[in-house]
Amino acid sequence: MLLEMAVGGFADRVAVGSCDDGLTFADLFGRAAATAERLRSVDAGHLVLADVSSEALPVLLFGASWAGIPFVPLNYRLPDGELRTLAGRVSPALAVAQPGTTERLDGLDGIGVVDRGDLWQGLSATRTTENDWGFEGEDVAVLLFTSGTTGDPKAAVLRQRHLVSYILGSVDFGSAGEEEAALVSVPPYHVAGIAAILSNVFAGRRLLQLPTFEPGAWIDLVRAEGVTSAMVVPTMLARIVEHLDAEGPSSPGLPTLRALSYGGGRMPQPVIEKALDLLPDTSFVNAYGLTETSSTVTLLGPDEHRAAVASDDPKVRRRIASVGRPLPGIEVSIRDEAGAETPDGEPGDIWLRGEQVSGEYREQGSRLTDEGWFPTNDGGWLDDEGFLFVTGRIDDVIVKGGQNISPGEIEEVLLRHPAVADTAAIGLPDREWGERIVVAVVVRGDVDISPDDLQDLVRHELRSNRTPDLVEFVDELPYNDTGKLLRRVLRERLAHLGDA
């Protein structure tokens, strides 16, 4: 339906790729039809993708939807064994592999494998079937495996009605000017990668893809293609900012880039402040969302960014670290352990409700409450004007002497110190207190700083029971490829700092 409308509105515009040789919306539609025909002819139950972004990605996403089967993008960076295990969970399927890698998925029961290059050759751009693209709200549009930072990956179920609600609720049809182009550098298996395709197609905005993120290549592409908007995860922005900064005073900047949105993890405050400084004409948007909520549920908009940075009021200033306010169709509620709403401003579990919220997993079923709320397991709190602050996963809460301490709270304070480039607080076993607070700190440049300075800072800003027991200086923190901090890995690395 979304692509059909785009074809009705602007068939000859370029939808994906360069202005000279990209796919138009009509091409995209024709190839999606050919994909659907292929999927039906082999009776594929799912369309699996183990591949980087390419012009085939949007074609396959829409083709699967047309055929009425789930699209299942897998993390192609996983080791073969794990990739095969995930693919095996969605049999029967047709699996599309990155060129030259079909052997990675060969020989699995019920799964046919095709090389993306071969598939692409065989997809005729001319439509042979009549347009019989229906729209069944209950059809599963996409299955996305959660990153599994805490256990086995779960297959989040997003139905057509969730994704369409998200798009209709957040994008105005055909609202993009003909000159606009969006750069997508998140991988296909990230919910933001899927959302980017849908929302830009509906807006009529040309999509550009960077299959493997590298800051120099990203900047070159923005300049070469006149990119007007882009979405990045915090680690990407940090590297882009570093690269731009190194270009020095003669840097041409990124004058075409009107809007830059970021999300998918915690943004270190110095990075966003530096980015605002280096890109004075770019609008910044912080988006918070989860796989289970069809991407974005809250936004911190451009004006709110600039207002926060310019303000003398600490309450307003602090909002630079918030994820903003909910989209029109979304309700946010902060709940305590018993599921009761917390009193004003008290932290708790973030619960979300709205048409785009799925909260369903293939094997575990729906996790929505009877009233339709999805408990995210993300901790957070709301300020008195409804700005949401996310403090981290509830599972990461440090319990010291019976007190629940959110790592995000300590990290936010430490990141304000000019010498702290990055930091993470974790709990390690402590015979006396249950857990002790250990902070890993990456120091900026060669600034001289002692553990005492940082302990004093936290003691002064928060309560003394939040003060880190140990400060460990490290070269870097472990992140996965989409910018999520791997606290489990950090806990293993620093295990020697806890009691046995």
Residues lying near another protein in the complex (CB under 8 A): 1, 4-5, 8-9, 135, 137, 161, 164-165, 168-175, 182, 192, 195-196, 199-200, 203, 229, 231, 259, 261, 263, 283, 285, 287, 295-296, 299, 301-302, 327-328, 355
Q: Which is nearer to another protein, 111 or 357 (CB)?
A: 357
CA gap 218, 244 in Å, rounded? 11
CA gap 379, 348 in Å, rounded? 5
CA gap 211, 223 in Å, rounded? 17
DSSP state of 416: T
Q: Which is nearer to another protein, 75 or 165 (CB)?
A: 165
CA gap 111, 90 in Å, rounded? 9
Rounded least distance, CB 211 to another protein, Å: 17
- In single-letter form, the type of residue at position 335 comes to R
As beta bridge partners, residue 157 has 143
β pairing state of 259-262 and 229-232: parallel
Q: Pull the structure tokens for residue 134.
A: 């229906």
Q: How many CB atoms lie within 10 A of CB 24?
A: 19
Rounded least distance, CB 285 to another protein, Å: 5
Rounded least distance, CB 74 to another protein, Å: 20
As beta bridge partners, residue 428 has 436
CB 103 within 8 A of CB 80: no
Cα 176–chain centre separation:
22
Rounded least distance, CB 452 to another protein, Å: 41
Residue 278, CA distances (Å) to 252, 350, 438 in order: 11, 33, 34
Rounded least distance, CB 263 to another protein, Å: 7
Rounded least distance, CB 334 to another protein, Å: 22
Rounded least distance, CB 202 to another protein, Å: 8
- In single-letter form, the type of residue at position 256 comes to T
Rounded least distance, CB 69 to another protein, Å: 19
Q: Which is nearer to another protein, 178 or 492 (CB)?
A: 178
Q: Which is nearer to another protein, 366 or 450 (CB)?
A: 366
Q: Which is nearer to another protein, 354 or 427 (CB)?
A: 354
CB 231 within 8 A of CB 213: no
Q: How many CB atoms lie within 10 A of CB 355?
A: 16
Cis-peptide into 211, omega within 30 deg: no
